Amino acid sequence: MGKDLTKVETTFYFCDGGSCRKASRDLPLRSAQAYLRNEQLWENTHNVRTRCNGRCEDAPTCIIQPGNYWYKHLDSVKIIEIIKSHVEENKPVSEYLIFQEGWVQMESEKGRPSAKDSFFVEKEDDELGEVFLARSFTSDQYTYPLLVFLMSHKEDVSITEPSGKILQFKNLKHFEYVDTYKAKLEWEKHNFEITLGLVPKTEPLVLQQSKVSFTEFFYSQQKRGVRFKNKLGKHLCTLMFAPDNDTIWDYCLKVQLNMLSGERIVEK
């Protein structure tokens, strides 16, 4: 029988993303479940596994509601201390917190470099020639929104496949990302797939190696676009934008690269 939510007072959201699994092997969750069951707290609490909470640098993590308490570096001992404190005393264990409602700053020893640190570097590139190039994030939380955005600007976008074949977005018949890993682009007589989702090591190597692992935005006077490579640095495809379409480029700078203004260049 499912959980009677009317009785639940505290919910624990244990991160089940890759970094947290690697860091914890589920031990905090197992320990929490055993404690909650044996202390007869099962009915009044709920524990849920989530996908990545976005704080991998603090793995393993757990969120507790109500109160929006975010905990870091859990282990099977700390989690019991945390549960006791929340359930018995209705207060957090501050020293293990990354964040709680009302805080204006996080408590994390390991700050991940922010996307604001993106910058363009002048480069003589084998494929693109002389360009300014900047690395961006490559999770599907960035790449899929980029593709969705470009669907509204099809007239000014093309894709170059590794074979050199160029296809125009304006002729696309269909675009979807319903597969676990791959977004599909369909033209009248041609299909192309871009692997966006995180591919586990249990999947075939070919699929793993088709995953976009490097995203590089580039521009010169004549060209603007973004290139995708796999983790071995192999070219997967390049999206070219019309160089005079400032709407696309502004979106790339602001949303994809988090550059608030202009095209920052810091190195030659």
Query: Which residue do the tokens 């693109």 mark?
Result: 128
Cα dihedral 98→112→53→87 (10° resolution): -10
Which residue's beta carbon is nearest to the bound ligand FES?
17
Quickly count helices (H) and strands (E) in the chain. Answer: 6, 16
Residue 27 or 41 with smaller CB distance to ligand FES: 27
Residue 71 or 219 with smaller CB distance to ligand FES: 71
Q: Does 61 bind ligand FES (CB under 6 A)?
A: yes
Token pair belonging to 180:
């676990």
Q: Does 56 bind ligand FES (CB under 6 A)?
A: yes
DSSP per position, 77-134: THHHHHHHHHHHHS---GGGEEE-TT-SS---SSPPPPGGG--EEEEEETTTEEEEEE
Instruction: Find the binder of ligand FES among 59, 74, 134, 185 (CB under 6 A).
Output: 59
**Of 49, 42, 50, residue with least CA distance to 4:** 42
* Footprint on residues 20-49 left by ligand FES (CB under 6 A): 20
Chain centroid, CA 256 distance in Å: 12
Segment near ligand FES (CB under 6 A); pick from 10-18, 78-86, 216-224, 254-262: 10-18
Position 64, amino acid: I
In whole angstroms, what is the distance from residue 101 CA to residue 70 CA? 9
Residue 134 Cβ vs ligand FES, minimum distance, rounded to whole Å: 24
CA distances from 107 to 3, 20, 50, 97 (A): 33, 18, 21, 7
Instruction: Find the binder of ligand FES among 46, 55, 78, 86 (CB under 6 A).
Output: 55
Determine the 3-state secondary structure of 215 from DSSP: strand
Q: Does 139 bind ligand FES (CB under 6 A)?
A: no
Query: Which residue do the tokens 């550059």 mark?
Result: 259
Residue 60 or 225 with smaller CB distance to ligand FES: 60
- Contacts by 123-126, CB closer than 8 A, 24 or more apart: 125/218
Residue 72 Cβ vs ligand FES, minimum distance, rounded to whole Å: 9
- The DSSP symbol for 77 reads T
Q: Does 74 bind ligand FES (CB under 6 A)?
A: no
Residue 15 or 131 with smaller CB distance to ligand FES: 15
Q: Does 53 bind ligand FES (CB under 6 A)?
A: yes
Segment near ligand FES (CB under 6 A); pick from 50-58, 89-97, 197-205, 223-231: 50-58
Q: Does 259 bind ligand FES (CB under 6 A)?
A: no
Instruction: Find the binder of ligand FES among 18, 67, 92, 243 (CB under 6 A).
Output: 18
Residue 63 Cβ vs ligand FES, minimum distance, rounded to whole Å: 10
**Of 240, 254, 220, 238, residue with least CA distance to 115:** 254
Total residues interacting with ligand FES, rule: CB under 6 A: 12
Contacting positions for ligand FES (CB under 6 A): 15, 17-20, 52-56, 59, 61
